[in-house]
Amino acid sequence: MHRADSVDADEGFTLVEVLIAMIVLGIGVAALMTAFGMQAKTSLTNRNQAASESLLTASAEWVKGLSFTNNGTHCNAISGTVPTSKVSYDATKFTVTYGPGAALGSDSMCAVQQVPVTVTALNGAAGFTLTVTVVKRPDIEPTP
């Protein structure tokens, strides 16, 4: 005769089975945490790069509006740092410089200048550099 609730029947999990399941689950959780960490780092880098690109565009527009006068006696190279009062940016995360201007082709410095505008993201913002060249004409053309 067989009894339905036999004393020899195995029920539940052994300690070894529980430990193996916990190890497998722990490996899965560790992999997910690593993936989340990489995603956060990538997201921060992408955000800083987008901010740098936007800042580079705004700075280039500001440099285009700078006064550069050719009065026939002096034509200095345009250069400097973009002030935070003119183009809003966090100076602890970025540096924005422009120049020095250089003559375009065989023209003189008094005719047209190529002015590089550079945004450098500092180490806290994943350290990289973006540059664009602005072509500037003088505000007042020389009279022949």
Q: What is the pLDDT of residues 67-91, one digit of tens each?
A: 776 555 567 788 888 888 888 888 8
Contact 53, 73 (CB under 8 A): no
Q: What is the pLDDT of residue 118?
A: 92
Residue 72 neighbours by CB under 8 Å, 6+ apart: 110, 142
In-domain check, residue 55: yes
Q: For residues 81 and 119, what is the distance between their CA atoms, to the nearest angstrom?
A: 10
Give the range among 70-84, 107-121, 126-140 with minimum mean pLDDT: 70-84
Residue 19 in 3-state DSSP? Answer: helix
Say how many domains are in the chain: 1
pTM above 0.85, yes or no: no
Q: For residues 96 and 63, what is the distance between their CA atoms, to the nearest angstrom?
A: 11
Q: What is the pLDDT of residue 27?
A: 95
Does 113 or 127 have the greater pLDDT score?
A: 113
Q: What is the pLDDT of residue 89?
A: 84
Q: What is the pLDDT of residue 2?
A: 56
In-domain check, residue 123: yes
Give whole-number Cα distances, 31 to 27, 28, 88, in Å: 6, 5, 40
Whether the predicted pLDDT of 121 surpasses 60: yes
Q: Return the sign of the alpha-carbon dihedral for residues 80, 81, 83, 88.
A: positive
The rounded mean pLDDT for the chain is 81
In-domain check, residue 107: yes
Whether the predicted pLDDT of 136 surpasses 90: no
Instruction: Encode pLDDT of 3-19 as tens digits.
Output: 555 555 667 888 999 99
Residue 128 in 3-state DSSP? Answer: strand
Residue range of the domain that includes 92: 15-136
Instruction: Encode pLDDT of 16-33 as tens digits.
Output: 999 999 999 999 999 999
In-domain check, residue 127: yes
In-domain check, residue 44: yes
In-domain check, residue 8: no
